Amino acid sequence: MKYLDAFRAKEPLHTILSRITALPSNPLSIMEVCGTHTVSIARFGLRSLLPSHIRLISGPGCPVCVTAQGDIDLVIMLAREGGGHKKCIIATFGDMMRVPGSDSSLMQEKARGADVRMVYSPADALAMAAENPDAEVVFFAVGFETTSPTIAATILRARQANIGNFSIISNHKLIPPAMHVLLEDTTTAIDGFLCPGHVSAIIGIKPYQTIVERYRKGCVVSGFEPLDIVISTYRLMLQIQEGVPRAEIEYSRVVQAEGNAKALELLSRVFDVTDARWRGFGVIPRSGLTLKDAYARYDAVKKFDLTAPEVPDPRACQCGQVLKGIIAPPECPLFANTCTPEEPAGACMVSSEGTCATYYKYEQRTPSN
Amino acid sequence: MCIAIPLEIVEVRGNIALARYGNSTRQVHLDLLEGVGAGDYVLVHAGFAIEKLNKDEAEKTLTLFKEIGDEIP
């Protein structure tokens, strides 16, 4: 199944673009809520291909970026002090290593001697715990609905294998509640959403139907290739022109309307929905996941009696405004100035899918977009 | 971070599969999917298969692209 070329083909792309240009339309702001979309749009130069009245704006689609400062400080503290244990290994995804906390990062703590390790999969962190029975392995878990089922499966495996020296700090977040907040906010003007393909593979289309009914904004679940994104934009524009917002799936080769039932079952078996603090947004009710009481022994916050400090988002840094799509990265005074991928001031410049890092890499010559 | 890559399953061993990865294979966890067999393409995220790829739907989407293209004179 070799489809890459087909989904990147030039001919249909130009045809759909000319369709879009021909469609009479008021200025439109379409938000993508997935960092992988943000990267695709920038990498393939889609902003410059679309007519100027179509604004593609990036939303809170990067889990690294939306993690609150206090939650990062908490893990840095644990890396430093080891939770009272002689040997404590902090495992996390690569991008989390470099996110600046208030006065350090996990990478800096590693340089100072803390045992911080990068993993590709939560299953690797569990294997690390099995291989190091004299150490406590704490997995700093971030991610949206795409990632949280992999953590749920790992917790169930830990219980099955009776691995007691493994725990997680859950910073999992849910995408639809953030979309609700964005639509309630009068400073953001969003005409429709390109919905995240892989989050939707898990949650299906139902959460977007609620958004369509409540706010009358269209939602199209899009794939990640240039043709996917352009045709999804076109479908949103057709909805707006007809005045009939809908929840649609363009990425039908992966996403089913009902989502992934097994992954959803694992999620509800292991996690409770809870209020969560987001960078730039503050606390969003029922937008996070915490381990159920039955799995409390795998909850590092309970196990080591940790409390996240109340830390405001860094002041000069405009990550919050960027994450809400209120400003584009070049409008932040720190962008490409004192905040670069080598020395990031804010989380959005760290992750390879962060909006600022993506703009820095691909879109610096078009700051007016 | 929600990036996921499509891989072809070569062999299933209980909860774990081997998937073709360039000229080698790599392990994929199957905890989140039922009924995966050799020859299936799955999307892999953080070491876990999160969904099967549907070949018919992929063809349908490509046909749709083509039809839109053909409608324009």
Tally of CA atoms within 13 A in the half-sphere of A212 that contains its CB: 20
Q: Which residues of B touch A1 (CB under 8 A)?
A: 6, 8, 41, 53, 55, 58
Tell me the one-letter amino acid at A361: K
The residue to which tokens 């199209």 are assigned: A220
Query: Can you tell me the mean pLDDT for B29-50?
Result: 95
Burial class of residue A238 (count of CB atoms within 10 Å of its CB; 0-12, 13-18, 19+): middle
Phi first, then psi: what are they for A48, rounded to 5°? -75, -20
A289 bridge partner residues: A273
> What ipTM does the predicted assembly reach?
0.92
- Tens-digit pLDDT profile for residues A293-337: 999 999 999 999 999 888 888 778 899 999 999 999 999 999 999
Q: Which residues of B touch A231 (CB under 8 A)?
A: 64-65, 68
Label residue B69 by pLDDT band (50, 70, 90): low
pLDDT of residue A71: 95
- Tens-digit pLDDT profile for residues A100-127: 999 999 999 999 999 999 999 999 999 9
Distance from C-alpha of A201 to C-alpha of A196, rounded to nearest angstrom: 9
Contact B33 A260 (CB under 8 A): yes
Sort residue A45 into left (φ over 0), alpha (ψ -120 to 50) or beta: left
Give the A window 48-87 contacts with B, CB below 8 Å.
61-64
Q: Which residues of A touch B64 (CB under 8 A)?
A: 231
Among residues A7, A196, A255, A231, the alpha carbon closest in space to that of B53 is found at: A255
